[in-house]
């Protein structure tokens, strides 16, 4: 099996878009409580922490963040099923799933632009500061996790 980071590459927008376009509003989750649109809107929110639109902060001490970063970024460990960091947002922001998918792709373009400035980092809530390459790895794992959650991989 290829490493997770090669299965879903956020920088390969056409490949990523092809996976999301398989998603339908009524596609059931294999696990978890999110609807397909809630999942896409969750990803939009998370990407906005990496493109300068949401204000990120680290929620754990630096030593703990560094340890988590080493495990979650620099190994092939997958995000486990049913990890819950709160309840899914019930009120949808976008009028429909295709609009949300297009917004997600636009947010990823903004992510690339944000990191066009050399040396830039963005804070991950559990891992601390990540550079562009590290964010690509994490976004790959996160997207893989949710595409798998909806049976798209």
Query: Would residue 132 count as lying in a domain?
Result: yes
Query: Would residue 69 count as lying in a domain?
Result: yes
CA distances from 49 to 74, 107, 148 (A): 21, 10, 22
Query: Would residue 106 count as lying in a domain?
Result: yes
Q: For residue 1, what pLDDT is reported?
A: 40
Q: For residue 14, what pLDDT is reported?
A: 84
Q: For residue 150, what pLDDT is reported?
A: 96
Residue 12: pLDDT over 90: no
Q: For residue 79, what pLDDT is reported?
A: 87
Q: For residue 13, what pLDDT is reported?
A: 79
Query: Would residue 48 count as lying in a domain?
Result: yes
Query: Would residue 104 count as lying in a domain?
Result: yes
**Mean pLDDT score, 20-40:** 95
Q: For residue 86, what pLDDT is reported?
A: 62
Residue 2: pLDDT over 90: no
Residue 146: pLDDT over 60: yes
Q: What is the CA radius of gyration of the chain?
A: 15
138, 49 Cβ separation under 8 angstroms: no
- Please enumerate in sequence order all residues whose Cβ is within 8 A of that of 29, keeping only pairs 6 or more positions apart, or say none: 35, 36, 39, 149, 150
Q: For residue 5, what pLDDT is reported?
A: 46
pTM, whole model, 2 decimals? 0.89
Specify the length of the chain in residues.
153
97, 23 Cβ separation under 8 angstroms: yes
Query: Would residue 62 count as lying in a domain?
Result: yes
Residue keyed to tokens 């998918």:
101
Q: Write the pLDDT tens digit of every residue in 42-81.
A: 999 999 999 999 999 999 999 999 999 999 999 999 988 8
Domain span at 131: 11-24+31-79+95-149
Please report which confidence band the pLDDT of residue 11 belongs to, taking 50, 70 and 90 as the band edges: low
Query: Would residue 84 count as lying in a domain?
Result: no
Domain count for the chain, please give it: 1
Q: Write the pLDDT tens digit of every residue in 82-135.
A: 776 566 677 999 999 999 999 999 999 999 999 999 999 999 999 999 999 999
Query: Would residue 137 count as lying in a domain?
Result: yes
Q: For residue 73, what pLDDT is reported?
A: 96
């Amino acid at each position: 099996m290829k490493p997770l980071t090669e299965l879903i590459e956020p920088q390969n927008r056409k490949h990523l878009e092809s996976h999301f376009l398989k998603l339908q509003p009524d596609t059931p989750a294999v696990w978890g409580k999110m609807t397909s649109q809630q999942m896409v809107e969750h990803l939009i929110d998370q990407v906005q922490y990496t493109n300068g639109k949401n204000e990120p902060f680290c929620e754990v001490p630096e030593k703990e963040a560094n340890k988590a970063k080493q495990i979650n970024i620099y190994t092939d460990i997958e995000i486990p099923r049913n990890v819950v960091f709160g309840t899914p947002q019930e009120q949808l922001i976008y009028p429909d799933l295709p609009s949300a998918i297009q917004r997600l792709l636009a947010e990823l373009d903004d992510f690339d632009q944000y990191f066009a400035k050399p040396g830039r980092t963005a804070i991950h809530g559990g891992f601390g500061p990540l550079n562009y390459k590290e964010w690509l790895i994490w976004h790959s794992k996160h997207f893989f996790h949710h595409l798998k959650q909806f049976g798209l991989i």
